[in-house]
Amino acid sequence: MYRMNGAQLTIRLLERFGIDIIAGIPGGSNLPLYDALSQSTTIRHVLARHEQGAGFIAQGMARSSGRPAVCFATSGPGATNVMTAIADAKLDSIPIICITGQVPKSLIGTDAFQEIDTYGMSIPITKHNFLVRSSGELLSVVPAAFRIAAQGRPGPVLIDIPKDVQLEMAEFDSWPDLPQEKKSRQYAGSDLELAAAMINGAEKPILYLGGGVMHGNASAAAAGLAEKNSLPTTMTLLGLGSIPADHPLALGMLGMHAARYTNMALEECDLLIVAGARFDDRATGKMNEFCPNARVIHIDIDPGEINKLRTADMQLVGDVGDVFREMMPMIEQRRRSGWLERIRQLKREYPFIMPGQDDPCMPYGLIRQIAAIADDETIIATDVGKHQMWVAQAYPFRRSRQLLTSGGLGTMGFGLPAAIGAALAHPQRTIVCFSGDGSILMNIQEFATAAEHRVNLKVFVLDNTSLGLVRQQQNLFFDKHYFASEYTNHVDFVTIARGFGLQAFALGTAEDPVAALTEAMRTEGPCLVHVPIGRDEEVYPMVPPGAANKEMIGGENHAGA
Ligand SMILES: Cc1ncc(C[n+]2csc(CCOP(=O)(O)OP(=O)(O)O)c2C)c(N)n1
Ligand SMILES: [Mg+2]
């Protein structure tokens, strides 16, 4: 017979389920949980400086490891502060478990101090949520949270625990087990045969890989299938790295900021094999003009995605890796020399141009230079803006989980705390964060957390004194009417970083920029590198919002095809 209070029970369950780091901030409503956490010998607490930071630290751990990660927040403002990170996890299918304190049950509904309807607020932005009513319930709620967060299409789960439930004693005879993963599978062998026949019979097929390939650990299976049948392969922002950027079949990212040749190849394809992707509008452009000639095979673990935006001619609902492996023997060995030659021709005619790629003080040059210094184990996090798109275009990602970026919600402020989470989960690796002068300010307080834990993190702030991606839209679509997108007060990021206890480098005044970058990358612990960038450096090519992908502007080959 075991006897302990709800808070102790929660911490013991988290320990048993392998959690070794929790990011969070205490407050009145979760103090029993913190008291129990102080007694843990296996869980390390990371005191964030803002609950949104704690949520993104958990995301960084989950995104880089593939395992559920946990964050804590108190009731009221603690809970509301963490909501953005939860919503972000929902849109990118990231398994985090957020445990919030709540006012005692007897005060719920009375507008008590720091009472907010956390359960109600989190319904649309979680995969599932719980309001726990007795300490004994935790024996089933906590295992269920782990199962739901990780199983099938992953996602965030919230557990709201009133303070009296944290203090209530529970008695029980045995510990619950960590639930085994049950794979859902809604296709028959004959479906696989039909899909394989469509692939074998296609003349101009393209494989389209999304974040689900990463979640399903299916990148090796995807590459195997692509190689056997010679399938040119494109990836979404979250799918980057599923096959290496330098793979001969790799077409890079598709959509709004894709290379022209990628979107042109999609125009011509006659079969789209979509795996773990959801036809996001940033990828497809105007939906009814996307891949106009293609039939579609849609492979996804979430049946809700099938036929949501594009009708599938063939659907395979199940684990992406299982589908690829089971289909492999039915796939013919093909060389497709005509189609691959056409792709090479498109690459020659519509090449991807990277202005300044040899200058380490220019966006593309900086990113290529960091890639040259880093190894494939390095984890790259980004914030949201032009710098994010430059990284997606130019960084040669070679494996899944190498890039941590906020795709679906596009949350400025994601980069720094997510990078800290990745660094905590992978202390032996180097973590790089590319941020912008706008985004870094949104969670800059987490530099204190980074310094406190001496994480191996190098933050590059690409400072164009503007909300660059917004300004670019004003340049292109609002007659250069720049409003509310340019900063007049210039922040001294180097001084600020030093104030937080980080080392800092100013690339703008470095005599030898490559040497400065190399030194920064070799610096122990966290550091910041300030990189001045011209306001007018734009991200090209670009599909205007709402336009078809073939209507890209900018980024032409001025030298002539
Ligand atoms: C939280 C949040 N607020 C607003 C936006 C809208 N937005 C998208 S990109 C961007 C500019 C980002 O500026 P910065 O971080 O400096 O990156 P840059 O584009 O200049 O590289 C803004 C305001 C957003 N994505 N997230
Ligand atoms: Mg900027």
Report whether 271 contacts 247 (CB < 8 A).
no
Q: Which two tokens stand for residue 238?
A: 């979250």
Beta strands in 239-278 (DSSP E): 250-253, 271-275
- Same domain flag for 163 and 64: yes
CB atoms near residue 547 (< 10 Å): 15
- Same domain flag for 425 and 291: no
The answer to the question of residue 545 being in a domain is no
- Same domain flag for 370 and 491: yes
Residue 240 sits in a domain of what CATH number?
A: 3.40.50.1220
Nearest-atom index, ligand 1, CA of 462: 21
Range of the domain at 425: 363-532
- Same domain flag for 282 and 239: yes
pTM, whole model, 2 decimals? 0.98
Smallest CA separation from ligand 1 atom 4, residue: 412
Beta strands in 144-263 (DSSP E): 157-162, 169-172, 205-209, 233-235, 250-253
Residue 154 sits in a domain of what CATH number?
A: 3.40.50.970
**Separation CA 197–CA 203 (nearest Å):** 12
**Separation CA 135–CA 139 (nearest Å):** 8
Ligand 1 site residues (CB inside 6 A) read 383-387, 410-413, 436-439, 462, 464, 466-470
| Burial class of 561 by CB neighbour count within 10 A (0 to 12, 13 to 18, 19+) | exposed
- Of the listed ligands, the closest to the CA of 442 is 1
- Same domain flag for 60 and 38: yes
Nearest-atom index, ligand 1, CA of 385: 19
- Same domain flag for 329 and 381: no
- Same domain flag for 371 and 457: yes
Per-residue pLDDT of the chain (561 residues; tens, 9 = 90+): 999 999 999 999 999 999 999 999 999 999 999 999 999 999 999 999 999 999 999 999 999 999 999 999 999 999 999 999 999 999 999 999 999 999 999 999 999 999 999 999 999 999 999 999 999 999 999 999 999 999 999 999 999 999 999 999 999 999 999 888 778 899 999 999 999 999 999 999 999 999 999 999 999 999 999 999 999 999 999 999 999 999 999 999 999 999 999 999 999 999 999 999 999 999 999 999 999 999 999 999 999 999 999 999 999 999 999 999 999 999 999 999 999 999 999 999 999 999 999 999 999 999 999 999 999 999 999 999 999 999 999 999 999 999 999 999 999 999 999 999 999 999 999 999 999 999 999 999 999 999 999 999 999 999 999 999 999 999 999 999 999 999 999 999 999 999 999 999 999 999 999 999 999 999 999 999 999 999 999 999 999 999 999 999 998 864 433
- Same domain flag for 13 and 99: yes
- Same domain flag for 207 and 343: yes
- Same domain flag for 157 and 48: yes
The answer to the question of residue 550 being in a domain is no
- Same domain flag for 373 and 488: yes
The answer to the question of residue 560 being in a domain is no
- Same domain flag for 343 and 369: no
Q: What is the pLDDT of residue 182?
A: 79
Q: How far is the CA of 384 from the centre of ligand 1 (A)?
A: 5
Q: How far is the CA of 357 from the centre of ligand 2 (A)?
A: 19
The answer to the question of residue 559 being in a domain is no
Which of 323, 349, 375 is the last residue in one of the domains?
Answer: 349
Residue bearing tokens 């005509």: 338
The answer to the question of residue 547 being in a domain is no
Nearest-atom index, ligand 1, CA of 84: 1
The answer to the question of residue 37 being in a domain is yes
Q: How many domains does the chain have?
A: 3
Q: What is the pLDDT of residue 416?
A: 99
Which of 172, 198, 220 is the last residue in one of the domains?
Answer: 172
Nearest-atom index, ligand 1, CA of 435: 15
Q: What is the DSSP letter of 137?
A: G
Beta-carbon contacts of 261 under 8 Å, excluding residues fewer than 6 positions away, are 251, 343, 346, 347, 349, 350, 351, 352
Mapped onto helix, strand or coil, the DSSP state of residue 429 is: coil
Q: How far is the CA of 437 from the centre of ligand 1 (A)?
A: 9
**Residue 151's Cα: distance from chain center in Å?**
18
User: What is the sign of the dihedral through the CA atoms of 475, 478, 479 and 484?
Assistant: negative
Which of 317, 349, 381 is the last residue in one of the domains?
Answer: 349
